[in-house]
Amino acid sequence: MTDRYAVIGNPIAHSKSPALHAAFARQCNQDIRYEAILGPLDGFRACVETFRQAGGRGMNVTVPFKVEALALADTLTERARLAQAVNTLRFDADGIFGDNTDGIGLVNDIQQRLGFAIGGKRVLILGAGGAARGSVLPVAEAGPARLVIVNRTQARAEALREQFAGVAAVDVEPCDGLAGQHFDLVINATSAGLHGESLPLPAGIFAPGALAYDMVYGNTETPFMAAARALGASRVSDGLGMLVGQAAESFFLWRGVRPDTAPVLQMLQGS
């Protein structure tokens, strides 16, 4: 019998998840059906329960329901608990299991696809919202020499540091405190560039050989990538590989099989 999975969000028509998971299923010889569900803004829980009662095995969760999914889960992974958001639900005999695969998707894309080892590197994360929160633990577990967070509202960055105290060593700098500092990896966890806003990056911020990674992706180079290149970043990348990576982690959580992300990423890049 074909197992059912879905992605739920609002809006959802733009989602690449059905194409990703269909490709993973073909590659791994898994008999699944994966659909996109437009979740009602005032009826997320009921929509998930209806899908579950109809035999659904799991769901991906996207904007704006990740926090509601956190409250819905009976069991959480540590990375989901710290991220305070869930993007993957699994339904089984023990109830609803919640995970957040965004951060590990990011780290795997950086280290495996791009071949950039985070261990021993100086890492800067721009932003202190949900995207940054989901990334701190996986990035910290990769063993950077230093992990720094910068956010326009410093209090939010400080709150993030406190949230991870005892789990990950995180430093916080003010936006105007980066001058004279150098980083090997700069991760943009904000959407500022897409809204025409400038990012707090002084000259010299990128060390020789540095990678600038934007969690946002698009059909052309993002504003952050262009700005980073102008400031001397040796390499730049958008977040399409992260999208594929987090989906692969969800697939593994559901099916126990880890797909090869490279051909699926090539498929998306060629579409």
Which positions are catalytic? 66
Any known ligand binding at 154? Answer: yes
Q: Consult the annotation and say whether 227 binds a ligand.
A: no
60 annotated as a binding-site residue: no
Query: Is 23 annotated as ligand-binding?
Result: no
| 16 in a known ligand binding site | yes
Q: Tell me if 218 is assigned to a ligand binding site.
A: no
- As given in the structure block, the two tokens for residue 164 are 């991870």
Q: Is 269 annotated as a binding residue?
A: no
Q: Is 127 marked as a binding-site residue?
A: yes
Q: Is 84 annotated as a binding residue?
A: no
Q: How far apart are CA 43 and CA 54, in angstroms?
A: 17
271 annotated among ligand-binding-site residues: no
CA dihedral (83, 94, 7, 107) in degrees, to 10, reads 40
8 Å CB contact between 113 and 180: no
Is position 215 annotated in a ligand binding site? yes
Task: Tell whether 78 is in a known binding site.
Answer: yes
Q: Known binder of ligand: residue 155?
A: yes
15 in a labelled binding site: yes
**217 carries a ligand binding annotation:** yes
Cα angle: 190, vertex 69, 217; to 5 degrees: 30
Q: Check: CB of residue 32 under 8 Å from CB of residue 15.
A: no
Q: Are 144 and 118 in contact (CB under 8 A)?
A: yes
**Which residues are annotated as part of the binding site for shikimate?**
15-17, 62, 87, 102, 217, 246
**Which residues are annotated as part of the binding site for NADP(+)?**
78, 127-131, 151-156, 215, 239
**Which residues are annotated as part of the binding site?**
15-17, 62, 78, 87, 102, 127-131, 151-156, 215, 217, 239, 246
